[in-house]
Amino acid sequence: MPEKRPRKSSTARDDQPAAPATPANEAAARSPLGDDDITAPPSDAELAELAHFDPGPLRKFDALICDIDGCLVPESSEPFDAGALRRIADHNRAAIKEGTLPVLTLCSGRPQPFVEAVCRLVGNTLLPCIAENGVWLYFPATNEYLRDPSITRDHLQAVREASDWVEAELFPKGFSIQPGKTASVSLFHPDPDHLAPAMPMIEAAFNKHGWPLRVSKTWYYINCDLEHISKATGLDWLIAAAGLNPDRLAGFGDTASDLAIAERVKLFACPPRHDEQIAKVAHHISPYWQAWAVLDVLERVLVE
Ligand SMILES: [Mg+2]
């Protein structure tokens, strides 16, 4: 196992809200959970028991913070492995109900609606999820979605202007913009080999126009994110808002932006397909694919 990395402290900025209070859910309390009710929320009593994440005798990790694309599901348009995701939902339901297993939550660059859908699919009714590379925290316990309050109208105007530039200059070259993002721009090209060569031109245009956007790449997208927003700021916000202890966190990711997860958790794992710099910091490289890899980490690696 690689040498332990230095810890980073995780503190929310003063302007980042804490987690909303858990709502009363009388309907859930009246209706016992059935085995197939994977989306049924925990009762008030169950939520109260878990509110402070008291470690159970079997639980060394309270949460697994997991990237979505290339980890839980393919980054391409390949179908989700619904069977594996169902198993993770079963795991999460038991973890939230019993308090003796880590709860899986999400840290993704995808737009908030995509992340919310996957959050509900994997049965996370408790812990906030990060969407759009730190722009949003989604709180499944209350259905609230909060945008990082440091994002100003000027930032949003810069994103709009950059989007217009992309449409004028790069759409004719075969690029398109991933729908649904609100304070960033993600570019897609049907031939991924066109992504890396376009990045210098994009960075030069952003610099020329003074748009404060950082340019990075995943397997199939160029991500243009506000310079002061990242998975790192989202993670610090999530950890502080949910009152999590980084020494009791695990992480799972596959590309460079997930280094922010690795820097904030005790144990970090990755799937078989991963960036080189991810392999250097991973304590565990799974031999399995998609959500089966995540499930293996949740139910085997984290309890050994
Ligand atoms: Mg990924």
Tens-digit pLDDT string for the chain (304 aa): 344 334 444 555 667 666 555 433 343 344 343 444 444 555 666 555 555 544 445 678 999 999 999 999 999 999 999 999 999 999 999 999 988 899 999 999 999 999 999 999 999 999 999 999 999 999 999 999 999 999 999 999 999 999 999 999 999 999 999 999 999 999 999 999 999 999 999 999 999 999 999 999 998 999 999 999 999 999 999 999 999 999 999 999 999 999 999 999 999 999 999 999 999 999 999 999 889 999 999 988 998 7
Asked if residue 144 and residue 65 are part of one domain, the reply reads yes
Asked if residue 242 and residue 144 are part of one domain, the reply reads yes
CA–centroid distance, residue 254 to ligand 1 (Å): 5
- Listed residues 179, 205, 226: the one ending a domain: 226
Assigned domain for 42 exists: no
- Listed residues 226, 253, 278: the one ending a domain: 226
Asked if residue 206 and residue 61 are part of one domain, the reply reads no
Asked if residue 67 and residue 135 are part of one domain, the reply reads yes
Separation of first and last alpha carbons in the chain: 14
CA distance 88 to 137: 21
Supply the CATH number for residue 167's domain: 3.90.1070
pTM: 0.82
Assigned domain for 34 exists: no
CA–centroid distance, residue 43 to ligand 1 (Å): 33
Task: Kindly compute the dihedral angle of the four CA atoms of residues 135, 139, 143, 147, in this order, to the nearest 10 degrees.
Answer: -20
Domain holding 182, by residue range, is: 153-226
CA–centroid distance, residue 44 to ligand 1 (Å): 34
Evaluate whether 238 touches 17 at the Cβ level (below 8 Å): no
Asked if residue 162 and residue 141 are part of one domain, the reply reads no
Number of helices (H) and strands (E), helices first, in the chain? 10, 12
Assigned domain for 22 exists: no
Assigned domain for 241 exists: yes
CA–centroid distance, residue 55 to ligand 1 (Å): 29
Assigned domain for 166 exists: yes
- Listed residues 167, 192, 226: the one ending a domain: 226
Asked if residue 65 and residue 214 are part of one domain, the reply reads no
Asked if residue 204 and residue 137 are part of one domain, the reply reads no
Helices (H), 139-285: 153-169, 195-209, 231-242, 259-262, 276-281
Asked if residue 165 and residue 180 are part of one domain, the reply reads yes
Asked if residue 175 and residue 95 are part of one domain, the reply reads no
Q: How many domains does the chain have?
A: 2
Secondary structure (3-state) at 168: helix
Supply the CATH number for residue 61's domain: 3.40.50.1000
CA–centroid distance, residue 258 to ligand 1 (Å): 7
Residue 253 contacts by C-beta under 8 Å, 6 or more apart in sequence?
66, 67, 71, 107, 259, 261, 262, 268, 270, 278
